[in-house]
Amino acid sequence: MGYLAFFLSGDPTRRASLDQLFPLGIFGLSLAVIHLTLVMSRYRGDPGLVIPTLFLAGLGLMAQFRMGLFDFEDPWRLSHFAYPLGIVVMLTTVVLFKRDRYQGLRFFWWISGLGALGVVAALVATGTQFRGAVYASGNRTPTEFIKILAVVFLAGYLARRTESGKRDRGSTFLFLLPIAIFFAALVPLLLWQRDLGMIVNLAGLLVVLIFVATGRWSYLVAASVVGVGAAFAAFKLFLHGQQRFRVWFDPFFDPTGASWQLLQGLSGMFSGGLWGAGFGKGNPERIPIAASDFIYAVIGEELGYFGCLLVVTLFVGFFHRAYRVAKHTENPFGALLSVGLTTMIMIQTFLNIGGVTKTVPLTGIPLPFISHGGSSLITMFCCLGLLLAVSDGVEPLIESSTAAGKRAKRGHSR
C-alpha cells in the first residue's frame, strides 16, 4: 500500500522500475525466511513478538525508500544491508539460544560488563567527533551493542544473587558494589563521548532491574533523587547538556541554529494534521537527520496523527507481549533478561518520540526498528532474537500457542 501511494502520488518523475522494487522484495523475502526458519527449527514460543516489530521495521524501510536513501547506482552500500543483516542476526540468535540454551549467558555476566567497558573505551580512544559526539569511522555507533552487554551483565549478576539468597544477607552496600563499580567506570566514558541518551537509558534499565530483582520501593525513590541530581549536574557541567535543556524549554531562542531540527520536526507534524499529507507528498528533506533521529516526525507529516497513533499502538502491543514472556518465565535469569531487554527498548522509544514531540529534551537516539541506522537496527533485532529464545521455553505460552493451533485446525476441518 505504501509503494502504491508513493508511485500514485501525482509526481510525474516517479515511475516504478525493477530496481526500485528491491526494498519491497527484500522485505517480502524476509517474511518468508522468518516463517520457514521458525517452522523448521520447531520454534514453540510466542510469534506475537514478531508481528508488531516487523510491521514497524517495514514502515521504517518504506520511509527510507521514500526519502531516497537507497542508492541503486551503488547497490553494495553497507546501509542497504542493515535490515537483512538484522534479520539474520535475529534468526541466528533464536536458533542458538532457544530451548533454554540462553541460560548459558548468565555465566558470562562479568565478561559482558568488561566487554561493554572495552567497547566504549575503544571508541573514545579511536573515534572522531561529529555534531558534539564521538563516532567510529563512517559515523557508526558501535556503542549500541553495549545495551545488550549491560542487560546480560545486570541480569546475570542479579539472578545469581537472587537464586543464592545473598540479597537477603549482608548490607546493601555489598549487594550494589559490583554494579556501582561498573557504572562508575562506564558513565565517565559515556560523558566523554557525549552520549547522554545512553546514560539515561542505562540508568532507567538499572532501576527497573534492581526493583524487579529485590522488590524494594526504596530503590525507586533513591534512583529518582539520583536521577534529578545527575540531570542537574549535566546541565551545569556540560555545555552540550545546557543546550539540550534550553532548546527543550524554549525552542525559539535559536530558531536557525540549535533549535532548527526540533522546530522543523514540530512544523512537519503540525502540517500533517489528522490524516497526513499522504505518503510521498510531504517534505521530509526539510528536517535534519530525518532518516534516524526524526523519522517519527516524517511519519507524522505524511501519515498524520493516526499514523503516529498506529506506531505507538504497535510498540505498546510489543511491550505487552514481551513483558508477558518475563511474567511467565520461571527462572530468574530469563525473567530478568526479558525485563531488561524490553525495558531498554521501551526507554529508547520514549526518549525518541518524547524528544521529537518536545515532551522530553532531545537525546539523539534512533527509534527502535523504524530508524534504519545500521548498528541500532541490528541491536534491536538481536534483542528480539533473545526475547524469542526466552519465549521458546515458557510453558504457558507454549500451551496457549498449541491450543490456538488446534482451534485453527478444527475451524479449517469444518
pLDDT in tens, 176-192: 889 889 988 998 888 88
Mean pLDDT, residues 292-312 taken together: 90
Least confident of 226-235, 284-293, 395-404: 395-404
pTM of the model: 0.89
Mean pLDDT, residues 377-389 taken together: 95
Distance in angstroms (rounded) separating the CA atoms of residues 409 and 209: 40
Could you tell me the pLDDT band of residue 286, with boundaries at 50, 70 and 90?
confident
| For residue 8, pLDDT beyond 60 | yes
For residue 309, the tally of other CB atoms under 10 A from its CB is 11
The H or E element spanning position 12 is none
Mean pLDDT, residues 373-396 taken together: 89
| For residue 168, pLDDT beyond 50 | no
Mean pLDDT, residues 384-399 taken together: 85
β-bridge mates for residue 134, sequence order: 129
Type of residue found at 308: C
- Spell out the long-range contacts of 283-291 with Cβ–Cβ below 8 A and sequence spacing 24 or more: 284/63, 284/66, 284/67, 285/67, 287/261, 288/260, 288/261, 288/264, 289/261, 290/67, 290/265, 291/63, 291/64, 291/67, 291/69, 291/371, 291/372, 291/373
Q: Are 57 and 312 in contact (CB under 8 A)?
A: no
Could you tell me the pLDDT band of residue 57, with boundaries at 50, 70 and 90?
very high
Q: Which of 305, 384, 369, 287 is nearest to 337 (CA)?
A: 384
Least confident of 133-142, 146-155, 199-208, 387-396: 133-142
Distance in angstroms (rounded) separating the CA atoms of residues 219 and 343: 17
Across 60-69, 72-81, 325-334, the highest mean pLDDT is recorded for 325-334
Distance in angstroms (rounded) separating the CA atoms of residues 143 and 191: 13
Average pLDDT over the chain, rounded to whole? 83
Distance in angstroms (rounded) separating the CA atoms of residues 164 and 158: 10
Distance in angstroms (rounded) separating the CA atoms of residues 95 and 82: 20
**Which residue has better confidence, 391 or 61?**
391
Mean pLDDT, residues 6-24 taken together: 69
Q: Are 180 and 139 in contact (CB under 8 A)?
A: no
Residue 145 burial by CB count (10 A; 0-12/13-18/19+): exposed, middle or buried? middle
When computed from its CA atoms, the radius of gyration of the chain, rounded to whole angstroms, is 22
Could you tell me the pLDDT band of residue 152, with boundaries at 50, 70 and 90?
very high
- The CA distances from residue 147 to 37, 172, 375, 383, 390, in Å, are 26, 25, 11, 9, 18
